């Protein structure tokens, strides 16, 4: 039992954690320091952050270059209202983002996180049709998608236990199946049928990889066909690159694999290298110009207290500097190749249902129950990984790796070995007794 002055017990006295049933949850692991791909706990144990702290960390923890740029900004300007004012970091960051974003993006609207970036995108799309005099109400999304936890983002996400208490409050969305290999034509047909309705405002999608669905993957070719249908029927397209952006899929953006480009792109997570909270929604000039009018009622009435925070923008600029360096691009290629090799080696092993890989993202689906968030295997595999000193957050029977790009080959080998240990657990060749967690109310 932790001592009364430990961080874990102090946390228990005051904090409510995300995605956590606080009655039965174990005391949290207190992390006091980070360096590279490692996180160090209060008791001195180190953990490999194989999920990049919810997919946000690109370059490693406490990166000195990002820390330097943040410190410099704090000495100059910590924040300024962004309505009627601007500042160098926001302008420079927007300019540099437009340079690397998918072709056609021309404007940046800043917000606070991935969910709010999606909210902005949805409001842009819906109000675009209002402003142009042809109101459209409906949104199309993938059936198993996840776009965030605010109300608009929940509405275009999968109906699940996460959103069940709020279903009656969510607006109508038309869902189509994910075009996984072998099922592409079904999805294309579904979209073609829905597109006949003249009331479709936009199609929002996670390009190539659906994260929370279990790292479900589909091809650039079928996505291009879906975008072609949307263009044919004048449906706006929103690429949710919150998870896939900034090198995760191998290219800078997943949309870079697809010939046709979206009208709107949402960004967060890796936007600041995992250093600061920041979101951004980009759009093409057609969208932007629909809001230019002498009538102020056609304004996009959206904003946040910390919109375009200078410190966050400076962190983003520093992260972008690092991302575009040859060394980082080499690391992305190294990770992608190593994942590919490991995937080929494990794919035919007993207990493995499927292995999926796209760039630096690797998912291993075990033949053990379902992918439900409430699967007992999720807790078992999570505890096993922690015992090995590796942080992995299973999606039911699916384990995924999205590490910081700086992870070493030795650290990556340890992660792979941990997954092989999980394979032995699933097939009954290894015995593991999950630690008896001291719950919060014992």
| Residue 44 sits in the same domain as residue 111 | no
Task: Count other C-beta atoms under 10 Å from residue 101's C-beta.
Answer: 24
For residue 434, the model assigns a pLDDT of 76
For residue 56, the model assigns a pLDDT of 98
The predicted-structure confidence for 28-41, as pLDDT tens digits, reads as follows 999 999 999 999 99
Whether 146 is a known active-site residue: answer yes
Which of the four pLDDT bands, split at 50, 70 and 90, describes residue 440? very low
Tell me: pLDDT of 158 over 90.
yes
Percentages of the chain per state (helix, strand, coil), in multiples of 5: 40, 20, 45
CATH of the domain at 119: 3.40.640.10
Q: Is 244 a member of any domain?
A: yes
For residue 439, the model assigns a pLDDT of 39
For residue 170, the model assigns a pLDDT of 97
Angle between helix 310-323 and 88-100 (nearest 10): 40
For residue 361, the model assigns a pLDDT of 98
Task: Count other C-beta atoms under 10 Å from residue 261's C-beta.
Answer: 19
Question: What range does the domain containing 233 cover?
Answer: 66-323
Which of 302, 323, 344 is a domain's end point?
A: 323
For residue 442, the model assigns a pLDDT of 30
49, 112, 144, 240: the catalytic one is 240
| Residue 34 sits in the same domain as residue 88 | no
| Residue 309 sits in the same domain as residue 342 | no
Of 33-47, 67-81, 426-440, the poorest mean pLDDT is in 426-440
* Cβ pair 328, 405 in contact under 8 A: yes
Which of the four pLDDT bands, split at 50, 70 and 90, describes residue 360? very high
Which of the four pLDDT bands, split at 50, 70 and 90, describes residue 441? very low
Count of domains observed in the chain: 2
For residue 182, the model assigns a pLDDT of 97
Is residue 25 classed as helix, strand or coil in its secondary structure?
coil
Whether 240 is a known active-site residue: answer yes
Q: Which of 163, 175, 234 has the alpha carbon at shortest distance from 210?
A: 175
Whether 294 is a known active-site residue: answer no
Tell me: pLDDT of 66 over 90.
yes
Which of the four pLDDT bands, split at 50, 70 and 90, describes residue 438? very low
CATH of the domain at 340: 3.90.1150.10
> Rounded mean pLDDT of 349-362?
97
144, 257, 269, 306: the catalytic one is 269
Whether 19 is a known active-site residue: answer yes
Tell me: pLDDT of 370 over 70.
no
Query: On the CB side of 425, how many CA atoms lie within 13 Å of its CA?
Result: 21
5, 19, 23, 296: the catalytic one is 19
| Residue 128 sits in the same domain as residue 218 | yes
Which of 271, 291, 323 is a domain's end point?
A: 323
- Mean pLDDT (the chain) is 95
Tell me: pLDDT of 175 over 50.
yes
The predicted-structure confidence for 385-411, as pLDDT tens digits, reads as follows 999 999 999 998 999 999 999 999 999
Which of the four pLDDT bands, split at 50, 70 and 90, describes residue 435? confident
Q: Is 38 a member of any domain?
A: yes
Which of the four pLDDT bands, split at 50, 70 and 90, describes residue 343? very high
Is residue 347 classed as helix, strand or coil in its secondary structure?
coil
**Ordered DSSP codes for 152-218:** HHHHTSPPSTTTGGGGGGSPPEEEE----TT-HHHHHHHHHHHHTSTTEEEEEE-SSEETTTTSEE-
């Amino acid at each position: 039992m932790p001592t009364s002055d430990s961080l874990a017990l102090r946390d228990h006295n005051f904090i409510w954690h995300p995605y956590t049933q606080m009655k039965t949850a174990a005391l949290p692991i207190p992390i006091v320091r980070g360096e590279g791909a490692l996180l160090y706990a209060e008791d001195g144990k180190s953990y490999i952050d194989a999920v990049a702290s919810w997919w946000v960390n690109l370059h490693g923890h406490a990166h000195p270059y990002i820390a330097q740029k943040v410190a410099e900004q704090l000495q100059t300007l910590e924040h300024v209202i962004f309505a009627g004012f601007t500042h160098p970091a926001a302008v420079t960051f927007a300019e540099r983002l437009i340079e690397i974003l998918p072709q056609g993006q021309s404007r940046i609207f800043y917000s606070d996180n991935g969910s709010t970036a999606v909210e902005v995108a949805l409001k842009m799309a819906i109000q675009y049709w209002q402003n142009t005099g042809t109101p459209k109400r409906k949104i199309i999304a993938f059936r198993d998608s996840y776009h965030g936890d605010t109300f608009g983002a929940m509405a275009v996400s999968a109906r699940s236990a996460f959103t069940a208490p709020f279903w009656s409050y969510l607006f109508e969305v038309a869902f189509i199946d994910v075009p996984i290999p072998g099922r592409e034509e079904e999805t294309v047909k579904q979209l073609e049928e829905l597109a006949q309705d003249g009331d479709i405002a936009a199609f929002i999608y996670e390009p190539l990889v659906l994260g929370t669905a279990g790292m479900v993957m589909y091809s650039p070719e079928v996505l291009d066909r879906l975008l072609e249908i949307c263009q044919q029927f004048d449906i706006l397209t929103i690429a949710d690159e919150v998870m896939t952006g900034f090198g995760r899929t191998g290219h800078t953006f997943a949309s870079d694999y697809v010939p046709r480009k979206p009208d709107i792109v949402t960004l967060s997570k890796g936007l600041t290298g995992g250093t600061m909270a920041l979101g951004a929604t980009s759009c093409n000039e057609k969208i932007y110009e629909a809001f230019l009018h002498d009538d102020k009622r056609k304004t996009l009435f959206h904003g946040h207290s910390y919109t375009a925070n200078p410190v966050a923008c400076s962190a983003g600029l520093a992260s972008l500097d690092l991302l575009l360096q040859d060394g980082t691009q080499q690391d992305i290629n190294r990770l992608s190749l190593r994942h590919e090799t490991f995937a080929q080696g494990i794919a035919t092993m007993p207990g493995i249902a499927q292995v999926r890989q796209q760039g630096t993202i690797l998912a291993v689906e075990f033949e053990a129950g379902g992918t439900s968030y409430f699967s007992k295997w999720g807790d078992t595999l999570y505890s096993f990984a922690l015992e090995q000193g590796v942080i992995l957050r299973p999606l039911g029977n699916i384990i995924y790796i999205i590490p910081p790009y700086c992870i070493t080959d030795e650290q990556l080998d340890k992660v792979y070995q941990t997954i092989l240990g999980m394979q032995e657990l699933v097939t009954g060749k290894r015995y593991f007794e999950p630690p008896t967690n001291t719950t919060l109310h014992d």
